[in-house]
Amino acid sequence: AALLRGKEPKAVATWNAVCLADFGDEGIAFVAQPQIPPRNVNWSSQGKWVHAAKVGFEKYFLHKVRQGKSETFYEGLALDMLGIKKLKAIHIEPAE
């Protein structure tokens, strides 16, 4: 939004990735922080729980979209509890 107003941005994307890949009745979940190597966090797990999580997320996501919300309190809380940030602050030195 700052760029649209002709100002310098105060934050940039972190490029963190959270994925639930569903394969029938099982799946694989992974977190990569940041998405592009070198990574600080690289975690994955598989099992039937991923399928259940994906179904739950799809229902949540469709409800969120129908309500016209971009991010709910619970989404922010869950990402915060996992230590996953969408944006990171940038500091711009003032010109002398």
pLDDT given for residue 72 in this prediction: 85
Long-range contacts for 22-26 (Cβ within 8 Å, ≥24 apart)?
Answer: 22/50, 22/51, 22/54, 23/51, 24/51, 25/51, 26/50, 26/51
Q: pTM of the prediction?
A: 0.69
Binning pLDDT at 50, 70 and 90, where does residue 95 land? Answer: low
Give me the pLDDT at residue 79, please: 87
Answer with the residue of higher pLDDT: 6 or 95: 6
Quick: pLDDT tens for 56-87.
999 999 999 999 988 888 888 988 888 888 88
pLDDT over 80 (residue 15):
yes
- Outline where the chain has alpha helix (H): 48-67, 73-81
The amino acid occupying position 36 is: I
Q: What is the largest CA-CA distance in the chain?
A: 60
